Amino acid sequence: MYVECFTNNGKPYLRLVQSVRVTNQSGHKVPQKQVVANIGPLDRFDDGQPDYVARLKKSFKAGSPLIPSLEPYCAFAKTAETYHLSINEGSPECFGHPKLFSHILLERIMEELGLNTFFSSYKGFTKIQYDVYGFAKLLIFGRLLNPASKSATVRQNGDYFEPILTQYNPDNVFDTLDFVYDNKDKIIRRINSNLVKKAGRSPEIIYYDVTNFYFEISGPDDDILDEDGNVIEKGLRKMGVCKEERKLPIVQMGLFMDDCGIPIAIESFPGNTLDHLTLRSALEKNIDGLDFSRFILIGDRGICCYPNLIHLKDAGNGYIVSKSLLKSTKKEQEWTYSDDGYLSISDDFKYKSRIVKKMVKDENGNKRAIEEKVVVYWSKKFQQRAERENKKFLDFLKKLQEHPENFRITATQSKSLRKFFKKECINEKNGEILDSTKIKAFVDFDKVTEYRKSLGYYQIVTSELTMDAREVIDKYHGLTQIEDQFRVMKGDLETRPLYVQTPEHVTAHLLICMIALIMLRIIQKRIISSGNVQLDPDAYWSTGLNGHRLQEALNKWKVDLLPGELYRFMDVDDLDLKLILDSFGINIPAKLYRRAELKSIKKGIKIFM
C-alpha cells in the first residue's frame, strides 16, 4: 500500500493505492492497481515546504504520515492482521449494541467554533458545579441527530460511543438553558469571531427574514402590567399570523444569515409582533456588536418600510429589498407594466431599472430626501408558478365573475376574497360577507384584474445606485437560502412545536437550534467545496446534501463492540455517509479497531481548510 499523486482535470490529487493480482481474460494472474482511499486535493495538505509528496510517501512508509488520518492505514499496510473472535452461545456478546460515532465530527466543529473553551472558561468564572459543556453538547448534538424533548435528549447520553456525561443530574439540562440564555450575545460573538478567523467570514451581504414557531398550549401569555395598567413586559407566546396557519400561540424569530448561507444570529419576539418591527431591534442586539464592515442587508417586502431602510443607511450600510407592486402608487405600477425600457434576456425574462428621488419618514417621524434604484422584472417561470399555486382561487374568481348566482361562499373563500372586497360591503365587526347572493357586487373586479396583471412581476428597491440591475436581482434571489434554513429548522431539526415555557428557555432553545443549523451548514459547505458532488449550474445555490439525508447518514455512522475489545464500524460504505467522510478526508480502512485507534480518528479531522 502506498501514496500516489495523480492529476484530475489538471488538478493534483492524493490517493492511497495497493497492488493486487487479478485473473485476466487469458486466465493469467496479472498485477493491478486498486484504490484503497481517496485522500483529496494536494493543495489541501501541502505545507508549502519542498518535496511535500516525497516526504509524505516516506513518512507513510515509516508509520508516521504527515496526514494524521492516514495513521490507521500504516499498520494495515505493513501486515494484514488476522482476527480471532470467540463468542459462546448464550453470551450477551451475541447481541450487538452499535453506538453513535458521528459526534466526533460534531465535537470537532464545536471546538473550531470556540464553544468548548467558551463553556469551560465561563463554568470556571461562575463556579458552576455541573458539566454545562456536556449538557450543551447533548442538546446541540441531539437536535441535529435525533431531535427530542430536553429530558429525552439527556437520556440519549448512552447512545454515543463514549457517553458525553458521566455522573449528572438530569434536571441540570434546564440550568443549561438558563446559562445559554444569559450568555446568548457572547456565544454569538464567539462563533462569529472564529468563523471570521478560521473560515474567512466577512459578509458583504447579510440576509434577514422572519418566521414563527407555534406552541401547543391552550392560550397566549398575559402581559405584565403595573398598577396603572401600563405594560411592563409583553408576554412572548402570543396569537399572531402563524406561517403554518395554526390557531395556536406563536413566537416570532428573526434570523440573520451570511452570503455563504451560514446563520449569524437569531432574535425572538412576541408572536403578535409585525415582521417589519423586528428588524431594528434585532440589528441593534445582534449585528451592531459584531464589528462587520459595511454590508448590504437583503430582505423581503415584509421588512420594506422606510424607517428600517433609513436606519440601515444612517449606519453606513445598504439594502436590497422587495416591495409590493399592489401596494405601490398608480404611477409606479404603470411604469412597471409599460413595455418601455425593458431589456429582454429572452422571451421568458425581462427587466428594467431607474433611479428615483422621494421623500420618506425615518424612525423618528422626520421627513428625509433619499435616492434609490428601483428594479422591476418579469419572469415567465415565476408567473406560471404563481398561476399554478393560485389556480383554484383564480378559477373560482373567473366562475364567480361569470355566474355569481351559482355560488355560496365558505369561510375560507371569504378570507381569500377579503383583499378584493369593496369596503362598503364588509361587516367590520366580524369580517363576514353581508349577503352571499350578491357576492359579485361585493367584489372589486378592478382589483382582481390588477392582481392577475401583477403575476410574474417583481419590484426591488436598493440603496446601491451603481449596482447593475441584474446583480441586484441575483443577490436578492439568494434570500431563498434563508427560507431553506427555516424549512430545515421546522423539519429536520424539529424546532417546533416548542414545549419550553419561559421566555428565557424559548430563546435558549432557538439559539441551540441555530447552532445545530450552523454545524449542518458547515458540513454541507465542506461537501460542496470537496468537488465530490455534481452542482446544478443554473441554481442560485446548493446544499450538496440536503438536511434529511445528512441527518440520516450521520445516524448510520456507528461502532459496535466485539469480543476482545475490538470495534467495527457500521455502514461506512453508505453512499451519503461516505460522501461526508470523504469530504473531510476521514478514511476508514476495512479493519477492526482498538479503542486508541478510534480516538486517533478525531485528531486528524480538519474542519476549515
In this predicted model, what pLDDT tens digit does every residue of 404-460 receive, in sequence order? 656 555 656 555 655 555 555 555 556 555 554 444 445 666 676 777 788 889 899
Q: State how far the Cα of 26 lies from the Cα of 450, in Å rounded to an integer.
A: 77
Q: State how far the Cα of 406 lies from the Cα of 433, in Å rounded to an integer.
A: 16
Distance of CA 232 to the CA centre of its chain: 34
Using DSSP's 3-state secondary structure scheme, residue 558 falls into: strand
pLDDT reported for residue 257 = 94
Q: State how far the Cα of 55 lies from the Cα of 378, in Å rounded to an integer.
A: 58
Q: Which whole-number Å values give the CA distances from 302 to 273, 305, 322, 456, 471, in the listed order?
A: 12, 8, 8, 19, 22
Residues 205/295, Cβ–Cβ less than 8 Å: yes
Q: Which grid cell is 403?
A: 355566474
Q: Which whole-number Å values give the CA distances from 598 to 38, 61, 559, 567, in the listed order?
A: 20, 21, 9, 8
pTM: 0.78
Higher pLDDT, 462 or 74: 462
Residues 102/557, Cβ–Cβ less than 8 Å: yes
Each residue's pLDDT tens digit, 541-572: 788 899 999 999 999 999 999 988 899 999 99
Q: State how far the Cα of 224 lies from the Cα of 76, in Å rounded to an integer.
A: 68
Nearest to 517 by CA among 105, 143, 118: 143
pLDDT reported for residue 375 = 96
Longest CA–CA separation in the chain, Å: 99
Nearest to 508 by CA among 126, 178, 172: 178
Question: In the chain, what percentage of residues exceed pLDDT 70?
Answer: 89
Place of cell 458532488: 533
Sheet of 558-562: strand order equals 99-100, 558-562, 566-570
pLDDT reported for residue 374 = 95
Q: State how far the Cα of 13 lies from the Cα of 4, in Å rounded to an integer.
A: 8
Give the list of residues 6+ apart from residue 16 with CB closer than 8 angstroms, or none.
1, 2, 3, 4, 35, 36, 37, 39, 70, 73, 587
